[in-house]
Chain A
C-alpha cells in the first residue's frame, strides 16, 4: 500500500493542488488513501484521460462534477438524464470544490474503449440498472457559435474523449496548464534544490543490524564454484572454450553497401583537368620592363638559332597598346593549344607508392671495389694530330699509338718517354700488338696497307727469332694465288726494314681496323669496300688472305676475335653477329638497340661483351643469357667512341666525345647462376674535346689497374 502511494505521488499531488491542499503528500495519510481509492476505482479512466491531453494532468475527480454540471446545464435528453443533469448542475453551483464520490458512478460504464464504437448508438453504455446511458447532446454549428459568442467560459472548455462531455477547466487547472506550457514545475513553489536527506545509508551505525552468527558457508570457498571453475579450466584446456573474438563488423554499418555513392565518387576522382597553358609573364607584356628586353647580341643569337629550338617569342617594347601589331603566330599557337587539349592522353597514370630509395639497386660502394684508375698520372705528349689508336704491348712496358699526323709512336709507359717514332705515308687507323708471346709483332693499318712490323722491344732472342721466322716464311711459296682475293703481300724495302717494317699487305680499299687472333698467327682486317665493308683474314705464317664472309649485311663497324674459342664477332651498325670459324656458320645475333655501334670488346672470360654506341650508351651483353643487352649504362653525354675490358681486374672502361672516361666495375662470377655485377665507379677527365671529338680509344694495362687513353687533343694519358 505504501509503495503504491509513492508511485502515484505525482497524480496525488495534482489532486491536492486542485483542492488547494498543498501539503506534503507523505505526511497526510488520509489524503493518500483517498486518492488511492480514487485510483482504484478509475484506473481505466485515468489512463484514458492522460492520453487525451498529455499536458493536462489533472485529477479525474475534479473533472467529474464539471462534466456532469455542464452536460446538465446544456442538454437534457431523457428524463433520468435530466434529473441527473439538474442534480449535477446544482452540485456544480453549490460546491465546485467539494467532491462527492457517488456522482462518479454514472459517468462512463463502457470501459477503456474508443468512443467511436458507440457512434451509431444513441447511448453510451449502461448503468447499474441496465438502462442505457444516453450520450451527452452535441451542439450544432449554430449552438457552437452562440456558445462561443456568449459563453464566457467557452475558451476554457475542452471535450472529454472518454465520456464525450465538455469540461470547463478551473482556475487552478488553467494555471497548471500554463505552468506546464512554460516548462515549469507543475507545483508552485516546488524547490528542486532542497537538501537531500539520505535516511538509510548516510549514517554509520556502530552496531550491526543483526547479531546472528554467520554461517560456515559464508567464509569457506564454495565447492560448487570450484567445480564450475575446474570445468571451465578443463574446457579451456581441451579447446572447447575459446575466448570471445571481437567481431570485425562495425557497430554501425550500411546495410545495403555503399550504394551508388561510391560510383559517383570514383567518377569524380577520375576527373582529369585540362592542362593549363602557361601564364604570360613580364616578357610577354607589350611594354616589358627594360631588363626583359633582349640585347642586340641576344636578338642576333635568337635569329641564328633554329626555329624549333629557340624561344618562340622575342619581347618587344611598344609605348602604347594601340601600336601593338597583330600577333602573327596567334592562329598557330591556338591551333597547337587545341591539339594539346584533344591529343593529350586522358588517362591517369597509376602512380605506385614506392620509396624512391628502394628502387635504387643496392650496389657496393666504389671504395670497396678498388683498385681502379683514379688519377691522371702521366701525359704522353708528342703527337701533333689527334691520336686515333692505341695499344699496349702484352707485357705492359710499351704502348704504341697512331695519330692523324701520320706517325706511330712507341712510348715507355712508366716514364712517358717516346722511344720510337715511325712515319707512315698515310695516317694509321688502327694498330695492334701481336698477343702471342713468341712474336714481337705489331700490325698497323694505314690507308689501304696493313704493315706487319717487328717492334724489336721485347726479348732480344725473341726479336731475332721473329725476324728469322718471318724471313723463313718468305722463302716458302706463298699461297696467295690459291685464294683469289684483292690483297697482295709485299716484302718491305730495306729502308723500311731498318725501321722495323717487315711486311706490307696491300688492300685495294682503306683498312679501318686490324685485330689479332689470340694465337698471334691470324690477323683480321676490316676493309671499307665500295658499297659496304668486308672482312679479310690474313695468316701471317703462310702469307695467305681469305674472305670468309661473303656478304655481311650492313656496314661493319668493328670486328673482334673471341679470346679463347674460335668465334668471330662482327659488329654492324645495329647488331653483332657471332660466327663460328671452325664450323663456318652464324652462331648468334645480338640486337644492340643502339643507334650505330661504335666499339666492341669481349670479356676475357669470353661470355660477356660490351658495346659502345654513338647514342651515348654502353650495353653489356651476357652471351649465354639473351640476345638483348643485360644492362645499358648511360653515363656519357656524347657519343661513346671506345670500350675495353681489363684482362685481369673486373673493370671495364668506356670513353666518349665529351672527354670523359667512365670506369665501371664489371664482376663476372664463375657461378653461372649469378648475374654480372656492374657498378660505375669513376669518371676520369683530362682530355679536352677538340672539334667535338674527345677520347677516341682506351686500353687497359695488361696487369695493372691502369688505363691509357688516346685523345683528340693529341695526347695519351695514363690513369692509375
Chain B
C-alpha cells in the first residue's frame, strides 16, 4: 500500500546516466633492464626512470627514443618540466629525474634535430639522502623535491641560458662565470632556492597543485601544506599510516593518498585539519604504492599496489573499483595518467606497460 502511495505521488526521480567505459586495453610493453621506478607521459613521449640509474624516453608506440645516463644510483622519480615541446621555446623539452644518489638532474631533450639528443643541464645538489619524489609548479619554472633527509627543496627549473632577464643572485653569476670559463657544455650544479623543514620523518611524496602551495607527505604520517612564498607549513593533515604517494586533482580539489595499507584515502585540504573525505577506497590486497587522478574525469583515479594490480576507481563507489588490471608480475612501483587516453605503470618485473583507456 505504501509503495502504491509513493507511486501515486508524483515524484521526480533524477537518473544520472554514466557512460560505461570499456576496460583498459594493454597497448604496449616496454622492456627495461631493471625495475621501473618512475614514469611520466606527455603528449609525445613517455619518460621512465629505472633502478639501473638510467632515464629513458620512449614514444607512445613503444620505441625507445633515447636514454639519459648520469645518475650513479637507482632513479626514483622522473617528471617532465615543460609539458610540451611546442609550449617551450627553442624546440626542446625539459625533464628532471631524482635518484638515490641524492641528486636531482635536469635534462633537456632537443627535438629539433632528427636524432633526439638528451643533454644534462643541471645537477641539483643539496639533499643528504635519496631523493624520492619530484613535483613541478603549474607555471613550469620551479621544481620541488623531497628526500629521506626529511627536507623539501625548491629548485629553479629554468635552464641557465634562458634566465637572462631574471635578477641573478651572486652564486648564479659565479656559476655562469665558471661555465663560461670552462667553455664546455658540462652540467652545472644548482643549489636550492628554498629548503622547507618540518617533517619529522623522511618525506616520500610531493605535489604542487597551485602556484604557491606545495603538499608533501611522508613517513611521519601527515600531509603538510606549505606556503612557498613565506616558506612555512600552513597546515597539517594527520593520517594513520605512512604516505607513499599523494596526488591532487585540479578538477575536484581532493587529494588522494596511497598509504602503507590496503586503502586509498581521499582528503580535502580546504576543510582544514584532520579531514578525511568520504570513506577510503578498499579493494587492494597489498600496500597501495601509487595513486593518480584522472586528468579529465572528475571522479576517477588510478591506483597501483604491491599486489601487482592497478585499479581504476570511481570515488563514488568506495568498495568496488571500476576496473582491475593485473599489470605486472611483481610489485607495481609507479604509474601515470597524465595523458588522458593512456595509463602507464612500471613495476619490479622491469617492464613498463601502457593501457589504452577511452
Contacts and interface: CB of A to CB of B under 8 A. Distances in A.
A binds B: yes
Interface of A: 371, 377-378, 395-397, 414-417, 419, 458-462, 703-704, 720
A487 B260 CA distance: 46
B73 to A, nearest CB: 8
Nearest to A376: B286
Contacts of A460: 102, 128
Contacts of B202: 395-397
B129 A459 contact: yes
Q: Is the interface of B mostly helix, strand, loop or mixed?
A: loop
Contacts of B333: 415
A310 to B, nearest CB: 46
Interface of B: 35, 37, 51, 74, 102, 128-130, 148-149, 201-202, 219, 240-242, 244, 260-261, 286-287, 306, 331, 333, 348
A425 B219 CA distance: 38
A395 B102 CA distance: 15
A416 B35 CA distance: 11
Q: Is the interface of A mostly helix, strand, loop or mixed?
A: loop
A462 B102 CA distance: 13
Given A377-B287, A396-B202, A458 B129 contact: yes
Contacts of B260: 377, 704, 720
Given A395-B129, A414-B244, A461-B128, 9 more contacts: A371-B241, A377-B286, A377-B287, A397-B148, A397-B202, A416-B331, A417-B51, A458-B128, A458-B129
10 contacts: A377-B287, A377-B306, A395-B202, A415-B37, A416-B331, A416-B348, A459-B102, A462-B128, A704-B242, A720-B287
A459 B240 contact: no
A460 B241 CA distance: 29
B242 A415 contact: no
A506 B61 CA distance: 59
A378 B306 contact: yes
A378 B331 CA distance: 10
Given A371-B240, A416-B331, A417-B35, A703 B129 contact: no
A279 B242 CA distance: 63
A419 B202 CA distance: 19
Contact of B148 (A377, A395, A416, A419): A395
A709 to B, nearest CB: 17
Contacts of A458: 128-129
Contacts of B348: 415-417
B42 to A, nearest CB: 26
Contacts, number: 48
Contacts of B129: 395, 397, 458-459
A314 to B, nearest CB: 50
Contacts of B331: 415-416
Contacts of A371: 240-241
Give the residue among B219, B241, B333 with the most A Cβ atoms within 10 A: B219
A624 B205 CA distance: 44
Nearest to A720: B260
A378 to B, nearest CB: 7
Contacts of A378: 287, 306
Contacts of B102: 459-460
Contacts of A704: 219, 242, 260
A378 B307 CA distance: 10
Nearest to A706: B260
Nearest to A370: B240
Nearest to B129: A459
A703 B287 contact: no
A711 B154 CA distance: 43
Contacts of A703: 201, 219
A371 B219 CA distance: 14
Nearest to B201: A703
Contacts of B242: 704
A371 B306 CA distance: 21
Nearest to B130: A397
In the complex, the 6 A-B pairs of residues with the closest C-beta atoms, listed nearest first: A459-B128, A720-B260, A397-B148, A703-B201, A377-B287, A460-B102
Contacts of B74: 417, 419
B77 to A, nearest CB: 13
B52 to A, nearest CB: 12
B314 to A, nearest CB: 26
A57 to B, nearest CB: 92
B286 A459 contact: no
A417 B100 CA distance: 13
Nearest to B148: A397
Give the residue among A397, A415, A458 with the most B Cβ atoms within 10 A: A415
A116 B202 CA distance: 129
A462 to B, nearest CB: 8
B133 to A, nearest CB: 12
B354 to A, nearest CB: 22
A703 B219 CA distance: 8
B68 to A, nearest CB: 21
A21 to B, nearest CB: 96
A417 B287 CA distance: 16
A462 B128 CA distance: 9
A584 to B, nearest CB: 39
Nearest to B127: A459
A460 B148 CA distance: 13
Give the residue among B102, B240, B242 with the most A Cβ atoms within 10 A: B242
B175 to A, nearest CB: 20
Contacts of A720: 260-261, 287
Contacts of B130: 397
Contacts of A417: 35, 51, 74, 348
Contacts of A461: 128
B49 to A, nearest CB: 13
A459 B149 contact: yes
A395 B240 CA distance: 20
Contacts of B35: 415, 417
B204 to A, nearest CB: 8
A378 B260 CA distance: 11
A417 B73 CA distance: 13
B227 to A, nearest CB: 27
A414 B288 CA distance: 12
Nearest to A462: B128
B178 to A, nearest CB: 21
A693 to B, nearest CB: 28
B299 to A, nearest CB: 29
Contacts of A459: 102, 128-129, 149
A259 B169 CA distance: 112
A616 to B, nearest CB: 32
A396 B128 CA distance: 14
Contacts of A414: 244
Nearest to B132: A414
B90 to A, nearest CB: 34
Nearest to B101: A460
Contacts of B148: 395, 397
Nearest to A377: B287
Nearest to B125: A460
Nearest to A460: B102
A459 B74 CA distance: 15
A203 to B, nearest CB: 71
Nearest to A378: B306
Contacts of B244: 414
Nearest to A702: B201
B247 to A, nearest CB: 18
A416 B130 CA distance: 16
Contacts of A419: 74
Contacts of B51: 417
A458 B127 CA distance: 11
A371 B240 CA distance: 9
A338 to B, nearest CB: 63
B338 to A, nearest CB: 23
A461 B148 CA distance: 15
Contacts of B201: 703
Nearest to A397: B148
Contacts of A462: 128
A501 B169 CA distance: 43
